[in-house]
Amino acid sequence: MPIVSLTRIERRKISVFLSCLLLAVFCWLFFALSKDYEYKVNSKLNFTNPPLNKAYHPLQDDTVTLKLRGTGWQLLFSKLKLRPRIIHVSLKPLNFNNYITISSQLRDINRQFESNQEVVSVLPDTLFFDFTRRITKKVPVKLLYKLSFLKPYGISGPIRLEPATVIVTGAAEDLKDINFWPTDSLSLSGVAAQVNTKLGFQKGLKNNVDVYPKFVKVVVPVDEFTEKVIEIPIEIENNPGRDVKLVPEKARITLLTALGNYSKVDRQSLKVNVDFDNWVKNKYPQLPLRIVKFPSFCKLVKTEPQTIDFLVED
C-alpha cells in the first residue's frame, strides 16, 4: 500500500479541521447537556418522625423510583453513581392512617435536592404499613474494636462497658433475632495507656427499631507487659491406678503478664497435665503436655518441655 505524503500546508489544514471538529463536538455536548431533561433514578427511603406507641412494618421494599427534572449534566452524574441516593420521608401520617402518599411530601423532598433539580413524581407513590404493639427487650452491648499497641503494651483486663446492656424497642417480629447491639467501631493505633471514650451505636437494619441509651462509655485497661517464668507440677489424667513416673515431673511455663498483675500470676493460676489414655489406647511413646488452665489476659510464650517421658511400674 503506497504511503501518502502530505505537504506541510496539507498537514496544517487537517490539524485545523480536527481541532474545529473536536471544538464543535464539545460545544454540542455542552449545550445538549445544559438543557433540561426528565430521567429516573432509584432511591432508598429513610423514614423519619415515626408514629408514637406503634411499631410499623413497611409492606413493600424501601427503594422507590424518582422521576426527576434536571440538566443533562445531572442526568449524566446520576448514572455514574454506584449507590442509590437516600431521601427522607416523614411518617407523621401514620398517626391517622396505615399508609402515606409520597407525592404529598414532594415539597419537603425537593428541598433535599439541588435548586435546579426537581422531583416530578415517585413510583410507587403510596406506601402501606402494618402495625403491631411496640415491645422492649434488653440485650448486651457488643463492642466493635480494632486496637494496635506500642510494644510491650496490651489489654490488661476486662473491657468495661457502661451500660453493659441497652433497651431496644420495636415490633416483636423485628426484635426476635436481636441478641446484642453493636457499637460504632473503635479503631486506635499506637496505644500505650488506658482508653477512655464514649461511642454511639450502629443503626439498626430496621427503621422502626430504637435503642436506648444512645451512647456507651468504654474503658479499656492497658498496661505494660513483662515476661514471667513459672514451674508447676504435671498432673496425670485418666490414670487407672498405675504407678506412673513422669520425666520431668514439672513443666516450665513462660508467659507475658501485665505489670499490675505480675504478683497475682502464680502456680495456682496455671494447670498442666498429660492424658494417660494416649499410652493406654494409642501407645504413644511420649505424652503431649496440655495446658488446661491459663490466666486471663496473659500471653503464652513457650512451654518446656512439650512432650513428657514416662515410666510405668508394675
Mean pLDDT to the nearest integer, 195-219? 89
| Of the listed ranges 102-106, 146-150, 203-207, the one predicted with least confidence | 203-207
Collapsing DSSP to helix, strand or coil, 15 comes out as: helix
pLDDT at 27 (0 to 100): 66
Contacts of 240 (CB under 8 A, 6+ apart): 276, 280
| Of the listed ranges 158-167, 239-248, 269-278, the one predicted with least confidence | 239-248
Higher pLDDT, 226 or 208: 226
pLDDT at 306 (0 to 100): 93
Instruction: Look up residue 109 and give its three cell numbers.
Output: 423532598
Tell me the one-letter amino acid at 309.
Answer: D
Buried b or exposed e, range 32-60, using 16+ CB within 10 angstroms: eeeeeeebebebebebeebbeebbbebee
Task: Sketch out the chain's domains with CATH numbers.
Answer: 1-34 (no CATH), 37-132 (2.170.120), 135-220 (2.170.120.40), 225-313 (2.170.120.30)
Mean pLDDT to the nearest integer, 46-52? 83
Strands 85-90 and 118-123: unpaired
pLDDT at 201 (0 to 100): 95
User: What is the model's pTM?
Assistant: 0.60
Using the predicted structure, report yes or no on whether residue 234 has a pLDDT greater than 70. Answer: yes
Mean pLDDT to the nearest integer, 33-45? 73
* pLDDT tens-digit series, residues 246-303: 899 999 999 999 999 999 999 999 999 999 888 877 788 889 999 999 998 899 999 9
Q: Across the chain, what does the average pLDDT equal? A: 84
d(CA 11, CA 5): 10
